[in-house]
Structure 1
Amino acid sequence: MTSQLVYGVRKKQKRTPEKQVDSSFHKTMPTTENPVKNVVVHPLVLLSVVDHFTRMSKIGNQKRVVGVLLGALRNKGVLDVSNSFAVPFDEDDKDKSVWFLDHDYLENMSTMFKKVNAKEKIVGWYHTGPKLHQNDVAINELIREYCPNSILVIIDAEPRDMGLPTEAYHAVEEVHDDGTPTSKTFEHLASEIGAEEAEEVGVEHLLRDVKDTTVGTLSQRITAQLLGLKGLLKQVRHIHEYLDQVIQGKLPVNHAVVYQLQDIFNLLPDVADQQFVKCVHTKTNDQMLVVYLASLTRSVIALHNLINNKLTNRDAERRKDEKDKEGKEKKEEKKEEKKEEITKDKSEKK
């Protein structure tokens, strides 16, 4: 079996019995319904993808790279993406229906990874996006031969906005109201970045080399909060744009999204409630009291240090004056002794 360019829908190729895909690939997840509700991307995957993107960007002008994700499905619909490997990929910039993916290389790599760790199975694929592309559905259909419920994770190797650099999707059948045949589309999945204890230790060792020791802990906390607020502002703007498009009729009303927005608004406190206002004032006063006491303590300590410094300087000056005085007295005594010796010598000569 040889790899070839694919135009539009991938051309099926005849497979000999020696080159058939291992049946264990199809046992990763059931085909009836996608059980994945949340995708957890491990740090090793992020490092591998960034390394893959950096290497390919130095070689040529490839805008995105593609690879395969390995992992396992935990309980309660959580998919752990713990490893990955790159796959040779190329596409036509002008015609997105023309693309190439070396599935021979994919099969060989997956077989070798299976020998190293049998628990890690093919769970999907990734590309560096940064957004969905026109041919992603066709590529996903190819990956589904190795994993029926394939997950697509877009990892932005050059993020320009605040927030997570990962977005997860899975393919679903889109039913049209006009009776036309169904079509494949992607549905968004919740994603997060997680790590085990050993991975956290490794990441901490890597970050030690890039940690800025001149920046204080308070500055780091303020910077982190500022970045979080910027990310929140970005999400609020996305919600605002979506609601504007719904009001203008550009997008249909999605009741699931409306329910989630209602849940967000339900989390907002009732600022008109007197009890709430009283609680806020009480908490604010308690916090300001702590700040006031801390300021007083800092001022008292500074004054105490100033007094101690003054006393230390005064004692040092006093000891210096005493030493100078003792030195002068010793010099005068020596002069008098010399005068007495000279006088004694003169008297003896006479």
Structure 2
Amino acid sequence: MSLNLVVKIHPVVLFQIVDAYERRNADSHRVIGTLLGTSDKGVVEVTNCFCVPHKEHADQVEAELNYAMDVYELNRRVNASENIVGWWATGNEVTNHSSVIHEYYARECREPVHVTLDTSLSGARMGLRGYVCAALGVPRGKQGCMFTPIEVSLTTYEPEIVGMQLCQKTMAGGGRGRQVQPVMDLAQVADAAAKLSSLLDQMVSYVEEVLGGTVEGNNAAGRQLLELVTALPALAAHSFQDSFAASVKDLLMVVTLAQLIKTQLQLNEKLTLLTSQ
């Protein structure tokens, strides 16, 4: 069992876990499920999950394993690249029944990971933790296991970043039920340009303060700035402006064509309905 595993979870997985917890039965205090994703070179990337109905008693655990396998096979038809990588549970701790559940997933995949999500919001935070199970015991003696913490972090695809930004906007009003609409493409470009300009101003101000001796330089920040500068092509100012203007024109042309095609399809649909009547 490798203790150097790193788990990277996508936001959609967290939303699915919270949704399953909100839809749980009234007598269920904990919800469990299967984690789906990929595992490569010590990095487990969790991209999907589903809930597994179960009941926990004092001395045993009852889980609908046939249901879990049916859902997994259906998911494989949609996305064959997602495999079982472990299991999740709500709560902020590992319980006595966790080892029993982990034994089942150890038969379904190699080195399964266990992720807990604290939906009780203890400490005003939704704690996210990851574990692997390390075997304990003596030769030809009674065997056991110990859940050892591992590193867990969040990772996102670009479309997920847009969704997360929309979710952050719903928090601005402070009230529930606040609705927001997706921002148009050009508005997103303008917002991104404004944020980039603000970050560049902060970077220039920091560099000037370091050169002026008012602020002590940070070696890590200096190395990151050097990597940023060397990653950019060496272009003159007018060449960069021409290239940027050409890219903006191409973007505007694509947006215009997309809007025209959308309008044409809508008109065609209305004409088809009128002729059919």
TM class, shorter-length: 0.5 to 0.7
User: Structure 1's 166 and 105: CA in aligned 2 closer, same or farther, altered over 3 A?
Assistant: same
Gap change, CA 1:148 and 1:65, over 3 Å in 2 = same
Counterpart mapping for 1:76-155 below 5 A = 77-92=42-57, 96-155=58-117
Q: Flag the 1:143–1:107 CA change in 2: closer, same or farther, 3 A.
A: same
Residue 188 of structure 1 corresponds to 149
User: Is the contact between residue 117 and residue 126 of structure 2 (CA under 8 Å) also seen in structure 1?
Assistant: no
- Matching residue's letter, 1:125: W
Q: How many residues align?
A: 181
Select 1:63's aligned residue among 8, 29, 32. Answer: 29
CA distance in 1, matches of 2:74, 2:2: 27
Percent of matched pairs sharing the same residue? 24
Q: Provide runs of 4+ in structure 1 moved above 3 Å.
A: 33-36, 178-182, 285-288
Which has the higher Rg, Structure 1 or Structure 2? 1
Q: In structure 2, what is the Cα distance between the partners aligned to 1:139 and 1:199?
A: 31
> What are the within-5 Å matches in structure 2 for residues 4-83 of structure 1?
33-34=1-2, 37-56=5-24, 59-75=25-41, 77-83=42-48
In structure 2, runs of 5+ residues without a counterpart are: 175-208, 216-277
Q: Secondary structure at the match of 1:158?
A: coil
The structure with more strand, counted as a fraction of residues: 2
Secondary structure of 2:123 counterpart: coil
Structure 1 distance, partners of 2:140, 2:121, is 40
TM-score (normalised: structure 2)? 0.59
Check 1:86–1:193 CA distance in 2 against 1; reply closer, same or farther (3 A cut).
Answer: same
Amino acid at match of 2:47: S
Q: Residues 253-292 of structure 1 correspond to what in structure 2 (within 5 A)?
A: none
Separation in 1, partners of 2:77, 2:60: 33
After superposition, the CA RMSD in angstroms is 2.8
1:137 aligned counterpart, secondary structure: helix
In the alignment, which residue of structure 2 is the partner of 1:209?
A: 170
Partner SS, residue 61 of structure 1: coil
Q: Is the 8 A contact 2:120 2:126 kept in 1?
A: no
Is the 1:36–1:79 Cα contact (8 Å) retained in structure 2? Answer: no
Structure 1 length normalisation: TM-score? Answer: 0.47
**1:35 & 1:112 partners in 2: Cα distance?**
32
